[in-house]
Structure 1
């Protein structure tokens, strides 16, 4: 078994069973190409079990976070059908290891989008935008990892909730966003935190997914990245996000 397959199987099993594993690249020596190869192989395990690809998620879309991690570009992960949680329903806490949640903006595409596109070209491919929440859940013990490890682990993506879809031709460059836990504000931010404009995240998604040979498809969802720091999720909580002009999305954590 190659190291790529070995690590992919390790991470897939951890996600499937909701059990943490030890880091395997503590020194960060794994190349980013190999890290993405592990991610792709891990997601292939899910597809083989009957899941469907439904889109991509973007990570490290904050300039400050990129600088902190020594990056010149965002990272990305793959979304599958089992990761989508219906809005305002319950999610089983037992499927996660140590989940956190971030407020986001989501796109759904009406046309394929690939390569080096402009922001207007990206917008032309968008059918609608929505308020969203992403549940991130590192498969590594204590939520500790190197950059290659988090990429290999599907950029920590574990679940997502999408609110009501809206016409994308409203100005969504700087929308106020409030994430609440049990009705109390936990994080307050703006859609401008996403690379200065969420469309830039979509442009990056088109470029990076095409480079991987998996161009964005019509009907796919693109999660634009966390607009604020993540919050821990605990059993029994109701988590929601309210986005100016776009409404809200939420879920409850049960067992």
Structure 2
């Protein structure tokens, strides 16, 4: 795909994000779009957000667990960039009017104390480079109409990033078994689903190592202080005005998020 088309599609996704509207699936309009093209479109989209004043605060891994893969019909991990405009504080209600067609997923976030650069990064390297882990919610949001996505669509759309919320409970991954620690997700006070770290590529640390190595091959390092979202341990949860979600990780603590308003879609 030529550079002018890459820029055009990246700009289209940026404009859709800013206007809170969707666009037709890219794979329907560009049947031959390659995964490499999709990541170049993502880079253009992020370039536009950075030019608008945001900064990179971390990375995310998407489509790591079977429930999410089954829901989306996408069967390989992807990654996206986290920006300062995506950060929400725990306790504040997320205005759904700033999103289009949001769905929540519960996961474990790693906050780094050291740089990491692949290839060759192992799960143990990830643990050593991590300052702490926290339970979190990512509110994914697609700029693609009706979530009709293939892997190229979600990659181009920055791995369907919306916003995210970090919990206040910090844990040391050297003392917490993040592979076997169970996660309980409640919606409006009722049990919604359960999960475990092993559902994410065998361990959330494995997923983070995969991303460090994948980005390392592209010359992109993890940097100290960055937040790395390791991938959902829950099924995607549709959210609406007044909903409250709580995810609790055994031995670590909880993250709570509330929603108000009505999404654009």
3-state DSSP of counterpart to 1:127? strand
Equivalent runs, 1:163-182 vs 2, <5 Å = 163=167, 164-169=169-174, 170-182=176-188
3-state DSSP of counterpart to 1:25? helix
Aligned match of 1:160? 164
User: What is the distance in 2 between the residues matched to 1:210 and 1:63?
Assistant: 26
Aligned match of 2:110? 107
User: What is the distance in 1 between the residues matched to 2:256 and 2:217?
Assistant: 33
Gaps of 5+ in 1: none
Deviating beyond 3 angstroms after TM superposition, the runs of 4 or more aligned structure 1 residues are: 63-73
CA contact (8 A) 2:108 2:135 kept: yes
2:123 is the alignment partner of 1:119:
yes
Distance change >3 Å, CA 177–CA 58, structure 1 → 2: same
Deviation of the 1:248 alpha carbon: 0.7
Aligned match of 2:65? 62
Equivalent runs, 1:72-91 vs 2, <5 Å = 73-91=76-94
Deviation of the 1:130 alpha carbon: 0.6
CA contact (8 A) 1:63 1:195 kept: no
Deviation of the 1:213 alpha carbon: 2.5
Q: 1:131 aligns with which of 132, 135, 143?
A: 135
How many residues were matched structurally? Answer: 255
Q: For residues 188-232 of structure 1, what are the alpha-carbon distances to aligned partners after superposition, in whole Å with 9 as ceiling and x for unaligned?
A: 111111111111011011112222322110000000001121010
Q: For residues 121-154 of structure 1, what are the alpha-carbon distances to aligned partners after superposition, in whole Å with 9 as ceiling and x for unaligned?
A: 1211100001011101111111111211111001
CA contact (8 A) 1:28 1:146 kept: no
Gaps of 5+ in 2: none
Distance change >3 Å, CA 83–CA 111, structure 1 → 2: same
Deviation of the 1:245 alpha carbon: 1.1
CA contact (8 A) 2:68 2:236 kept: no
Deviation of the 1:64 alpha carbon: 7.5
User: What is the distance in 1 between the residues matched to 2:70 and 2:234?
Assistant: 16
User: What is the distance in 2 between the residues matched to 1:158 and 1:200?
Assistant: 24
The alignment's C-alpha RMSD in Å is 2.0
2:34 is the alignment partner of 1:35:
no
Name the stretch that deviates more: 221-230 or 72-81. 72-81
* TM-score, normalised relative to structure 1: 0.94
User: What is the distance in 2 between the residues matched to 1:28 and 1:180?
Assistant: 40
2:241 is the alignment partner of 1:238:
no
CA contact (8 A) 1:180 1:187 kept: yes
